[in-house]
Amino acid sequence: MFLALWVRGCAEDQAPEKGNTAMKKRAALALFTLMSLLLPGCASTASGGTDEEEARLTVLASTYPVYLAARSVADGVEGVSVLRLETGAVSCLHDYTLTVGDMKKLEGADVVALNGAGMEEFMEDALAASSAPVIDCSAGIDLLESEGHVHQDGAEEDDHDHFDPHYWMDPENMERMVCNIRDGLSQADPEHAEEYEENAAGQAALLYTWDSALQDMIREAEEAAGVEIGGLITFHDGFRYFAEAFDLPLLASIEEEEGSEASAKEINEITGLVKEYSLPVIFAEINGSDATAQAIARETGCAVAQLSMCMDGPEDGTLSDYYTVLADNVTAVVNGFAGEEVIR
pLDDT at 20: 53
pLDDT at 2: 29
pLDDT at 170: 98
CB atoms within 10 A of CB 203: 28
**Whole-number Cα distances in Å, 160 to 166, 261, 329:** 17, 23, 30
pLDDT at 12: 35
Residue ranges of the alpha helices (H) in 112-235? 124-128, 171-188, 193-223
What's the one-letter identity of residue 63?
T
Which residues 6+ apart lie within 8 Å of 25 measured at CB?
11, 17
Q: Is 44 helix (H, G, I), strand (E, B) or coil?
A: coil
* Cross-strand bridge partners of residue 250: 232
CB 47 within 8 A of CB 71: yes
Radius of gyration of the chain (CA): 21
In angstroms, the CA 257 to CA 339 distance is 27
CB 255 within 8 A of CB 225: no
pLDDT at 344: 82
pLDDT at 49: 57
> Domains plus CATH for the chain?
45-215+228-321 (3.40.50.1980)
Residues in the chain with pLDDT < 70?
1-53, 91, 148-161, 256-260
In angstroms, the CA 331 to CA 268 distance is 28
pLDDT at 256: 64
pLDDT at 18: 43
* Cross-strand bridge partners of residue 58: 81
